[in-house]
Amino acid sequence: MNKKRVGVITFHDYDNYGAILQSYALQRKLKEMGTYPEIIDYRCDYISNPFRLVNLKKKGLFNYIYGAIGHICYIPRRRQCNLFRKHMRYSQPVSKGNMSAVAGKYDIYIAGSDQIWDYKLTNFDTTYFLDFVKKGKKKCSYAASIGEHEPPEQYRKKYSSLLKDFDQILVREDYGADIVESLTGSRPGITCDPTLLLTADEWTSLLKEPRCKSKYILVYQLGINKELVDFVRRLKKKTGLRVVYIPFPLVGLMNCSCKIAIGPAQWMGLFKNAEYVVSDSFHGVVYSLLFNRNFFAMVNGHHMNRRVQQLLKMVGLSHRTIENVSDEELTQPIDFTFANEEIARFREESLAQLRSLVKEQED
């Protein structure tokens, strides 16, 4: 029996640890389900080329500079990120103008995960809505995110038309489900981010342990926020531990060890072995949970974190934020019993829904 070919379109080429790891996780689980999955090697020009003039016009000066600096900061990690990508299988490279090369190649097409349906993030690139797929092919999404921006009126009709053309939609956040329901009249299922589909043991088999064995506070910061840096200084003073910092960007001076050229394997190793984690990143919180690390999340900064709040609420750890933490609470360990149970439950539910996407199509 021939394996069903599955084409996945997502953010895979951007050297963001979460983007790479979620791409790997979804492909791995699809393979374990008996399919032949490939990541469609598509790059969105608006994301891949942040220096273009159109980005300045669309984003405004601050976000344009912010994105450009982030792109530059990611360059040193490119080699290690590409090494991790060797775990994955890709289609031939395609672009907006030549999607015909993959338009009929697969039996099933899956959009997701990540914020691929955020019109601001992609400049409303409809390729991520599988608009290139030939008629008769199954079109689905898994844990796709619409971001935290309600589509403006001028896009709503197009959003509705694109989404109604899907055979099955699964999204990552409950507020995303609300938006999709308002656009299509049908409520989609909600599934976990692909990184949560793998257990801590499965991720451990892929990570690289840090060389230094002394205890440390890990800081993974994506947004510009002085409050987060001030909190790290406070935690450092309280614990006496050194700080390992994964930029970008640091606001203010801090005595720390910066890791600018690590890849996903080393990144996971730093999370697994940290005494404390401080982060404003969704995937930073995910891996803190998976590896049961004492963490504090930043949820009110420039970086979008509504999805972090939803995740923390689900696992009963909404209080693990940097706001209003007393000195005594700084070093109180987390009881992960309930969180681990909830993640395991959500994982099994999500795997069942993923299986439903790739099951035999009815005649």
Instruction: Judge whether 341 lies within some domain.
Output: no
- Domain of residue 160, CATH code: 3.40.50
Instruction: Judge whether 339 lies within some domain.
Output: no
Regarding whether 51 and 192 lie in a shared domain, the answer is: yes
Q: What is the pLDDT of residue 363?
A: 35
Region 11-25: mean pLDDT is: 94
Q: Quick one: what percent of the chain has pLDDT higher than 70?
A: 89
pLDDT digits (tens, 9 = 90+) for 73-102: 778 899 999 999 999 999 999 999 899 999
Biggest alpha carbon distance in the chain? 65
Regarding whether 64 and 99 lie in a shared domain, the answer is: yes
Instruction: Judge whether 338 lies within some domain.
Output: no
Residue 149 confidence (pLDDT) above 60 = yes
pLDDT digits (tens, 9 = 90+) for 43-78: 988 776 655 556 555 667 666 666 666 666 778 899
For residues 14 and 149, the model is more confident at 14
Q: 60 by DSSP, 3-state: which?
A: coil
Q: What is the pLDDT of residue 200?
A: 98
DSSP tally for the chain: helices H, then strands E? 15, 11
Regarding whether 120 and 70 lie in a shared domain, the answer is: yes
Q: What is the pLDDT of residue 319?
A: 93
pLDDT digits (tens, 9 = 90+) for 200-253: 999 999 999 998 889 999 999 988 788 999 999 999 999 999 999 997 655 556
Instruction: Judge whether 288 lies within some domain.
Output: yes
For residues 324 and 154, the model is more confident at 154
Regarding whether 75 and 14 lie in a shared domain, the answer is: yes
Structure tokens at 354: 């993923």
pLDDT digits (tens, 9 = 90+) for 243-282: 999 976 555 567 888 898 999 999 999 999 999 999 999 9
Instruction: Judge whether 194 lies within some domain.
Output: yes
Q: What is the mean pLDDT of the chain?
A: 90
Regarding whether 149 and 133 lie in a shared domain, the answer is: yes
Regarding whether 193 and 214 lie in a shared domain, the answer is: no
Regarding whether 99 and 112 lie in a shared domain, the answer is: yes
Instruction: Judge whether 342 lies within some domain.
Output: no
Q: At 343, is the pLDDT very low, low, confident or very high (cuts 50, 70, 90)?
A: very high
Instruction: Judge whether 112 lies within some domain.
Output: yes
Q: What is the pLDDT of residue 251?
A: 58
Domain of 106, in residue numbers: 5-198+347-358
Buried-state track 213-240, b at ≥16 Cβ within 10 A, e below 16? eeebbbbbbbbbbeebbebbeebbeebe
- The pTM is what? 0.92
Instruction: Judge whether 44 lies within some domain.
Output: yes
Regarding whether 43 and 17 lie in a shared domain, the answer is: yes
Helices (H), the chain: 17-32, 45-48, 53-59, 61-74, 78-85, 119-122, 153-164, 174-184, 200-204, 226-239, 264-273, 282-290, 306-314, 327-330, 337-358
- Domain of residue 241, CATH code: 3.40.50.2000
Regarding whether 290 and 188 lie in a shared domain, the answer is: no
Residue 301 confidence (pLDDT) above 60 = no
User: Which residues, including other chains, have CB under 8 Å from residue 104's CB and lie 6 or more apart?
Assistant: 133, 134, 137
Q: 325 by DSSP, 3-state: which?
A: coil
Q: What is the pLDDT of residue 360?
A: 65
Residue 162 confidence (pLDDT) above 50 = yes
pLDDT digits (tens, 9 = 90+) for 302-335: 445 788 999 999 999 999 999 879 999 999 999 9
Regarding whether 72 and 16 lie in a shared domain, the answer is: yes
Buried-state track 313-336, b at ≥16 Cβ within 10 A, e below 16? ebbebeebbbeebeeeebeeebeb
Regarding whether 235 and 143 lie in a shared domain, the answer is: no
Region 145-156: mean pLDDT is: 89
Total of domains in the chain: 2
Positive or negative: CA dihedral 76, 80, 83, 84: negative
Regarding whether 172 and 31 lie in a shared domain, the answer is: yes
